[in-house]
Structure 1
Amino acid sequence: MNQPGLPSQAAIQAALQQQPDRYAEQVWKLSLRVFATTTSIAAIALAVIVVINWEDNDDILEDYTSEYYADDWTDAGAYTGLGFASLAIAWNVSEFITLCVRSVRRGGIHPGSHVALDLILWMGFLASGLTEILIDFWTGASLGLCGILYVDAILHFTLFVWACIDTRRRNELSRTQSLALAMQITEQQQLQARTSMIPQYGQASIPPNMVMVPVEEWQQMKQMAQVSQQQAPPYRQSAVSPVSGSPHNLVAQPAPVARPFSPSSGIQELPMSSGHSELPMSPSELQSSTTDSKTPL
């Protein structure tokens, strides 16, 4: 029986068998990562151009930018964008290698890892783009770098949301598989318990509170029981009452058995004949009764 609040085994098996084929989703995620890798390569190239232009035209750029941004923050967006773009490329390449080894249908890296890395990447790209746009002096390379960083932020945010959904699905599937395995183990234990109560071929079923004994010992016990039954006194039932004509004592009573005279007791019992009650008689009474019964010649 299933516990309350838990799905039945049939429902669990149906859920396991009806897992949809997510091949199309894997292809879409792979396409997004390919696109994100391409934009990250472009972001690296534009960041290098921005840094080189700043180093070559340091004197000119200082005339068009404020002292605060020129000294500390002019190329900060380019450097941070360069670092996050390199991290995105390395992570996406790792996902590609994992998919090639395992296959697209089985999936790549664990979605929980994608949740962590894609979260870091989209927040890093967004922060780098905001930092780059705060520069007073803009160039075509810096504007292009801002646009590429925002695109990377959108792509990795989408992959982050998708990874969250995959993680939830994976956890639900793991829970369903665990329940199915637990129910299967329970059924096997119950089946083993039932089969252990059934005697195997060639074995007798022994009721409780009984033990096996050898055949010779059982035959001796049987013979002893038969001998004791033969030596036991016979039993008779009382006759019908002469007054009412109904049986007045239906309990079986043992018939009297003659016992030899014992000097110590001084009493001898004789077998009771039909219609007489059993009365103890002393030797003198017995002699007088026998004398009276004799008839003179």
Structure 2
Amino acid sequence: MHPRPEHEPPEDSEARKSLAPVICYPVEALPEPDLSAYRSARNGWEKVADLRVPPREALAFEVPAGHFFRITSVEGPQVGDLNLFSADLSERFYSGKTRALHGTHLSRGDRMWSGFPTLRPMATITEDTLDWYGIDPFGGSVHDVIGTRCDPYTHCLLSDGGQYHHCCHSNLTRALAEARNLSPREAEALVHDVLNVFMCTGFTRETGQYFMKASPVRPGDFLEFFAEIDLLGGLSACPGGDCSSEHSSDTAACYPLGVEIYRPAHAPEGWVQPAANRYDRSHGL
């Protein structure tokens, strides 16, 4: 929250404020995904899995490189928190760098990047039925990479010691522990910041605070991805439901989420698995 000013503005304050912004990471040098090639690869594809994430729980699922997967609304408006790992757990989704490259909210054509030292595309978003939403009058949009995931630690902090075990962080921890036969502490160390699928969020103009509002998602909507590498996904059906009021509680109406995995008849034309980042890792030493 921005504090109330205690200092008088200098004479040139307006001039300082009026300086034009500069994009931190111009992405013109990044190769653009060929969405027409991805879409052509969907012709004749085969659905190989149709999974359900129960409300206030999470599910881990594997997606081989070259396959598509969809996160779908199946019964009612529901937000999902998505973690992505490489199948061997050596790489994790890097939400901060993805945000720096693509913006606060993701949609068709954006990519989910892994962390250092690989820094490569893990998945490409190939379809988004909520792309019509854009940015609303409050500055809100959908599919954000600004929120971290609801967690029991912040809940405990803000509720004077409350213990709640179905926050997305805990849900993802349990799902990963079960999928890879890890202890809860081993799994928790690997859980990371998420893509908030279907969540509608932004920052208030007055205080700069992160806000959420009712998701516009409805049954039949989906966000579709192409797996650029072998993936292990973790998806939590957030205890906040559509996030119109609160999360980290059993108060909100919650619904399951669907995960559909498709095997294409052929790879997208020209597609190859992305190589790891080419930085030599010497760090000037």
TM norm. shorter chain > 0.5 = no
| Larger-gyration structure (1/2) | 1
Higher relative contact order at CA 8 Å, sep ≥6: structure 1 or structure 2? 2
Between Structure 1 and Structure 2, the one with more helix by share is: 1
TM-score w.r.t. length of structure 1: 0.21
Between Structure 1 and Structure 2, the one with more strand by share is: 2
